[in-house]
Amino acid sequence: MALDFADRELPDGLILRVRREQDAGPLAAAYQRNRGHLAPWDPTRTEDFFTEAGQLAQIRELLALREMDAALPLVIADGDQIAGGVTLSHLVRGAFQSANIGYWLDRDHVGRGLASAAIAAVIEVARDDYGLHRIQAATMLANHASQSVLTRAGFERIGVAPNYLEIAGRWQDHVLFQRILHD
């Protein structure tokens, strides 16, 4: 059963909504535009990632995971362009009821609280509609913007996980954060 998500309005008239196949072209354009902006914080991407075909394959994979109750892939839409993305992934049920959250914004949209607004909307749905207990995030030690967004959204710092993710071609230490949804 797919995880439901009703479109949400964000500041500046942007819309947070579920990713769809028609986003492949605009997403490829957004990733091309933001290649330098995202490179320090992202895994090393193949050239295929920056093409419409590569994005379509990714979207299909994520939508299949959504059908399996394992992921919620969202975009921040700015008319027919894409201004960012938020994804809940690795959603695990049973005694864990936990998911990971990842997010990014177009370089021309940072600093206006958009990521904070989008994360707040996802937290609400994860708690009230999906019955999750916890959301986890991992940021690189130097990613102060991301850490600030998480703290504002009520996440608490768990600690540093050494060599946690392969980012920009290197296994890098990360600060782990969690937000407990039902206190």
Residues in contact with ligand COA by the rule CB under 6 A: 38, 41, 103-105, 110-116, 139, 143-146, 148-149, 152
Q: How far is the CB of 39 from ligand COA (least distance, A)?
A: 9
Among 132, 118, 114, smallest CA distance to 17 is for: 118
Q: How far is the CB of 20 from ligand COA (least distance, A)?
A: 21
Length of the chain: 183
Return the number of the residue (49 or 103) whose C-beta is nearest ligand COA: 103
Short-list 57, 60, 50, 53, CA closest to 29: 50
Nearer to ligand COA, 3 or 105 (CB): 105
- Chain residue whose CB lies nearest ligand COA: 115
Angle (deg, nearest 10), helices 24-33 and 52-67: 120
Report the distance separating Cα 27 and Cα 52, nearest Å: 8
Cα–Cα distance, 159 to 175 (Å, whole number): 6
Give the nearest distance from C-beta 94 to ligand COA in angstroms: 26
Least distance in angstroms from the C-beta of 2 to ligand COA: 25
Of 137, 118, 117, 135, the residue nearest 126 (C-alpha): 135
Measured from the CB atom, is 93 or 152 closer to ligand COA? 152
Residue 41 or 130 with smaller CB distance to ligand COA: 41
